[in-house]
Structure formats: C-alpha cells, structure tokens
Amino acid sequence: AKAISATNFESEGREWTQAARVRTETPQPRMITDPKHQEEAIKLLKQAPMFLACKDDHLRKLVKDMERVDFHKGDVLCKQGDPQDRAFFIAEGQIRRERMVNDRTHQVMDTFGNSEPDQYGNRKIAIGVLHVLTRDPSFAEAKCMSQGHLYALSSEALNRHLLSDAILATNIVHSLSVEVRRQSNHVRWLMRTPLLEQRAKKTNVIAVSIAASVESFYRSGLNAAMNAKLSGQWGKLFPNMHIQMPARILYINGFKGLRQYLDLSVKPEEFSNPTAVRLAAVVAPGIVMTPLSSILEASNAGHMNPEPITSRWMRGISWRMVREIIFGIGLNQMSDYWEERIPHQLVEAEPLRNALGSLIAGVCSGYLSHIPHNLSTLKLMTPSKTYLEHLSSLVAQSESRVPNTIPPAARRTVATVFAILFPRAVMIRTAQIVGSFVILNGTINALKYVELPTSIPTAF
C-alpha cells in the first residue's frame, strides 16, 4: 500500500478531497440507482432534523441526486473551516467530529453513526446539514473511526430541488423551525471530550516558567505548613529557593511539555488497545518528573533528615511517584476536563472557567494524592521506619478523633478509616494543590496571547 496525503475524486464536475488514507484503491461515490439503497437513504434523511417533516414522495426525488460512498477508518470527510459542499448521512460505521477551540481540540458530542436519539434528542446520523445550503464553513472536522458507508447530498443538488419543489422547501423550513424550538429547550455545551482523550493546549515555555516561578513560593510555604502538621516541628517557609525555583520551573515545564510532546507524537487509534496507550501517555509525565519532585521535597526536609540532599531525595520515592501521577493528571487532563464541562450559561468568561476547572481538579487531586503524599513525606523525614510503620502512626494519630461512644474493639478500625478517608492535613494539601493549579493554569492561560519568543514544540 502506498501512503497518499489526499485522494481526489470528481462528482458533478467538482473535486471532493478525502484526506490522510493509506490504501491502494480510491473509493468512488456512486449515484443511488438501487431501490434498496434509495429506501435506506430516505430513512436516514427522515432522521435528520432538516427533513423530519418531509414526505416520502419528495424525498424519493431528492435521493436520486444523492451519492453512496464507502469509507474506511482514517478517512476525513471534511475539515473544520472548509466549505461544507456536502451533507453526510451515515448508514453504517462511526464518525468522530473534533473542533479546535482556543488552540485545543475537543470532541463534539459523541461518536456519530447511531440511529437512535441520544439523551438530548439528537439523531447522530447527519453531518453538515445546517451548513450545506450555502456551503458555509464546516463546524468541525469529521474523521471516520471505522469502515462503513454513507449517503452524500451536495449543495448544488439540494438548492436545485428547493427551487423546483415548493412543497419540499416548505417542509424543510417547517422541520428546521421544529428543530430550533427543540434546541432552545436543551441548552447545553457540546464539548464533551473524555478524560483520557483531552488534547493539550499550545503552551509557551516562557509562560510556563513565569507561572512556575510564582507558584514555587506558594508551594514551598504550604509544604512547610503541611510538614509541620505531620511532624509537629516547623521549618523554614522558603528553604533552598535557589534549588527549589529552578527545579520547579523544570518540573512544571516537564509536565506541560511532555504532555504536548506525547499528544503530538502518540496516536492511540493506531494501536490495538487505544485506551491502554492513552493511559500510558497520561501517567508518563508523572513518572518522568518524580526525580525532580524528589529534589524539591528533599529541599524542605533538611530540618528533620540530616542526610545530604544527594541521598535524601531518594527517600519515599515510590509513593511520591503515585502522588506525581495524580498531580500530573490533575494539572493537565483533569483541569481541562472540568473547564470543558462548566455550563456556559453559568460562566462565560474564559479566565473564570479556567480557574474553576483548575479549582475542581485541585480538590480531586489534592484529596486523592494525600495518603501517597503523607507516606512519602514521612519516609523522607524518618527513613528508618517502614511505610507500614508510618501508616500505623497515622492511624494511631487518628484514634484521638474517634468518638468515645465507639467500642474499644472497633476503635482501631474506625481510626484506620479516618486516617485513610479523612487524613491529617488534608485541607492544607488540598489548598496547596488548588492554589498551584489555579496559579499555573491561570498564568499560562493569561500569557498565551502575549508575543513570547519560545514555544514548547520547538523544545523537542
């Protein structure tokens, strides 16, 4: 098979481009002459909002000017912004639509190709019907996710039938009026990209570095408070900042840069198990950044662990890796996930949506990463004890919070539940992560429109 960047085929005297396929044959659209195919096309048209009120006799005339097209996985039916010269009605197979907004790719609704309405009443078998009449720019890119076939209606054919068939034109106007009323009763934001499929924003190294510099002081102060809560002994609020700040700049750039690099380089759809590949790409930045995180943590623990920092940074590294994976997912995918899902009727301003998305992700990540953080920190400060001994000490500390009404035999069990589900210093840890996410994502988002000379793609 020979790789080709675009396959052109002629229909009604005009060129239709189908991009990025690897195969030896060129699929050709065919005019619908088979009565069975005509009936299938009519059924699909009647499921599209534009033709709901149209009669079969008028649709039967229309489908004779439509085309049947076989598609394969990887075919691109239309690209965002290109003229929508055809509407597509999917009979078999799955199509995914992706729209670029603010330098980030979003999936638009769910995968198309289902004949049954979804929870909002959408019949996800038609693409481009609201843009085809005057060849308006396509709303989103439509990419084939499997093999199948569809029926295509050209703008020229639709306009010709509208001019020659007044009843068809009236019924289409009626259908669209019904659709507008229905849509007004279901106000919603259509961007719903799954967590593991969130796409990276274009991020500037200088913007990330500025954000990390500011956040390093906030993080250091909260870390000192959290360590004091765990150990009962206060250290300096901003120790070894000549080490902490450069390490933090590299650390945050690593998370953002690795995410963008993996997003550009790894194509999960090309593997037999895309979900596993996406999961590996999501956790990889946390694993890679663990050594840098360990240096940062060791800088804050000199008052409790007198070992030189060259040895101290390895203490607690296994649980710290778990924490960093959670942190990386929260900072990257989860922040974007929640930002995408904040209702636009509640919050329209992009900076506020970004802050709220970071806040929700920070709460989730702070809570989930707290036990790994406590265990790694205690191991760092007291390396002579095992992880199990440190966990036992956390449980013992929680026994003072168990109500006296609990029988003595059950107190240890309740204390264990408290230590895991309601751990010590969880509010400080959550505040630290929330603040870090808001500072980092907010600063990066605020600086994205500033003309800065260096961008992350050029760093790899």
Residue type, 339: E
Angle between helices 387-398 and 370-381 (to 10 degrees): 110
269-324 confidence digits (pLDDT tens): 999 999 999 999 999 999 999 998 998 888 877 777 888 888 899 999 999 999 99
Using the 8-state DSSP alphabet, how is residue 86 labeled?
E
- As a whole number of angstroms, the distance between CA 314 and CA 324 comes to 14
Compute the distance between CA of residue 441 and CA of residue 447 in angstroms, rounded to an integer: 10
Looking at residue 117, what is its pLDDT? Answer: 56
CA nearest neighbour of 105 among 20, 191, 205:
191
**pTM given for the model:** 0.68
Contact 120, 186 (CB under 8 A): yes
Count of residues in the chain: 460
Which tens digits make up the pLDDT trace of 110-134? 677 754 555 545 557 899 988 999 9
How far apart, in whole angstroms, are the C-alpha atoms of residue 30 and residue 223? Answer: 67
The more confident residue out of 104 and 249 is: 249
- In the numeric block, the tokens 């390093």 are attached to 216
What is the structure's pLDDT at 449? 66
pLDDT at 209 over 70: yes
Residue 344 and residue 412 in contact, taking contact as beta carbons nearer than 8 Å: no
Distance CA 311, CA 41 (A): 71
How many angstroms separate the Cα of 172 from the Cα of each of 49, 99, 178, 231, 285?
9, 27, 10, 72, 51
Quick: pLDDT tens for 398-412.
Answer: 888 888 888 888 999
pLDDT one-digit tens code per residue, 409-454: 899 999 999 999 988 778 888 888 999 999 999 998 888 766 655 5
**Cα within 13 Å of Cα(245), Cβ side:** 11
The whole-number pLDDT of residue 190 equals: 56
The CA-atom distances, in angstroms, between 197 and each of 69, 75, 78, 256 are 29, 20, 21, 16
Of the candidates 95, 111, 107, the one whose C-alpha atom is nearest the C-alpha of residue 151 is 95
Taking phi first (over 0 means left), then psi (-120 to 50 degrees means alpha), and beta for anything else, what does residue 28 get? beta
